[in-house]
């Protein structure tokens, strides 16, 4: 019994397999037929696209048709053909009109050369003028001399201003160089706890180091001391060696107790005391050894001394 059931299932499986193979065969056959039809040249390739009225009538009246319906179809086809013919004629007429417009005009004879041109005196005058003169003449007519054009860029004006600035700069530099070569008498005091006043003549353009070198030659006890170990103190301000007298004169620099641009010694003598006006007095600068300053910088007057700072305001000196 079990054997018959197994054989039945086997037969069903084989039948199902044969059906699948048959379907696959039919599908492949259809694919081959379709590919063959595609490769074969079409029979309708060279058939006209516009059928005649008789063919259209035959196609639209297949089978048994009433006479009235047949006549109606024929009438509609005739009207459609007439409209198409009229449209074609209109297109042809439009094409002809366009072609007529595109035709070149016929050449005409001209006798303008036979007439003598009228003489223009202004033109003759312009021909006699040079190109530069004509340009200047046109420029005069185009510009209004009363209009303010100072705000507009002008190369010539800018070049003239640049040259003027350069001339003034050179003139100012020349004057400053002449000023630096002027002599100035500097009264100073060698300070070692007490003052020993002397004076020396220098140029306004000399530096403080060159001034200290001249001072060193005037005192035997300073000849063995180098310039770097000397200090110049003016109006309680220690002036560095790289500054020149010209720097203080041109800037009207001021110290704590008087001007730094006056190098003589004078007192302010007044008949009436006036606290609203600053005293016009100048004190002698001090030449000091650096070792002395280091030992006594906590004692007056060295305790008031400080290094000159050009950015610091030591007060306004109103006396020029």
Give the model confidence (pLDDT) of 195-208 as tens digits.
788 888 898 888 99
Burial of residue 269 (CB within 10 Å: 0-12, 13-18, 19+) is exposed
Backbone angles phi, psi at 261, to 5 degrees: -105, 0
- pLDDT tens per residue across span 48-58: 444 566 777 66
In the predicted structure, residue 114 carries a pLDDT above the cut 50: no
* pLDDT surpasses 70 at 292: yes
Q: Which fold has domain 178-272+279-307?
A: Ubiquitin-like (UB roll) (3.10.20)
Name the average pLDDT for the chain. Answer: 76
Q: Per residue in 97-112, pLDDT tens?
A: 666 665 555 555 555 4
* Tens of pLDDT, residues 258-278: 788 777 775 554 545 554 555
For the segment 221-244, what is each residue's pLDDT rounded down to a tens digit? 888 888 888 999 988 888 899 899
Q: Which of 6-15, 67-76, 129-138, 278-287 reaches the highest mean pLDDT?
A: 6-15
By residue count, the chain amounts to 320
Two tokens, residue 244: 């020149």
pLDDT digits (tens, 9 = 90+) for 151-172: 888 888 889 999 999 999 999 9
Q: What is the pLDDT of residue 167?
A: 93
- pLDDT at residue 61 is higher than 70: no
Phi-psi group of 167: left, alpha or beta (phi > 0 → left; psi -120 to 50 → alpha; rest → beta): alpha
Comparison of pLDDT for 10 and 193, the residue scoring more: 10
pLDDT digits 0-9 by tens, 74-86: 888 888 888 887 7
């Amino acid at each position: 019994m079990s054997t018959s059931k197994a054989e039945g299932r086997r037969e069903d499986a084989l039948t199902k397999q044969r059906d699948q193979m048959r379907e696959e065969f039919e599908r492949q056959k259809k694919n081959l037929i379709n590919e063959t039809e595609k490769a074969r040249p079409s029979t309708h390739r060279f058939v006209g696209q516009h059928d005649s009225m008789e063919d259209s009538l035959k196609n639209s009246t297949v089978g048994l048709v009433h006479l009235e319906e047949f006549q109606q179809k024929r009438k509609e086809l005739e009207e459609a053909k007439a409209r198409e013919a009229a449209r074609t004629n209109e297109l042809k007429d439009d094409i002809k009109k366009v072609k007529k417009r595109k035709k070149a005009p016929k050449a005409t004879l001209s006798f303008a050369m036979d007439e003598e041109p009228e003489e223009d005196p202004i033109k003759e005058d312009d021909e006699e003028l040079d190109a530069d003169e004509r340009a200047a003449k046109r420029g005069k007519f185009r510009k209004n001399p009363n209009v303010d054009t100072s705000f507009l860029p002008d190369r010539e004006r800018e070049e003239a201003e640049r040259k003027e600035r350069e001339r003034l700069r050179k003139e100012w530099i020349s004057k400053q160089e002449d000023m630096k070569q002027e002599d100035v008498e500097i009264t100073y005091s060698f300070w070692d706890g007490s003052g020993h006043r002397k004076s020396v003549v220098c140029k306004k353009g000399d530096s403080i180091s060159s001034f200290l070198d001249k001072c060193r030659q005037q005192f035997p006890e300073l000849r063995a001391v180098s310039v770097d170990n000397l200090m110049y103190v003016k109006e309680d301000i220690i002036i560095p060696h790289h500054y020149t007298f010209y720097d203080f004169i041109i800037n009207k620099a001021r110290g704590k107790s008087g001007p730094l641009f006056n190098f003589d010694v004078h007192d302010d003598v007044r008949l009436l005391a006036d606290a609203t006006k600053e005293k016009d007095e100048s004190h002698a600068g001090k030449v000091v050894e650096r070792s002395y300053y280091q030992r006594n910088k906590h004692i007056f007057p060295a305790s008031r001394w400080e290094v000159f700072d050009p950015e610091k305001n030591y007060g306004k000196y109103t006396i020029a």
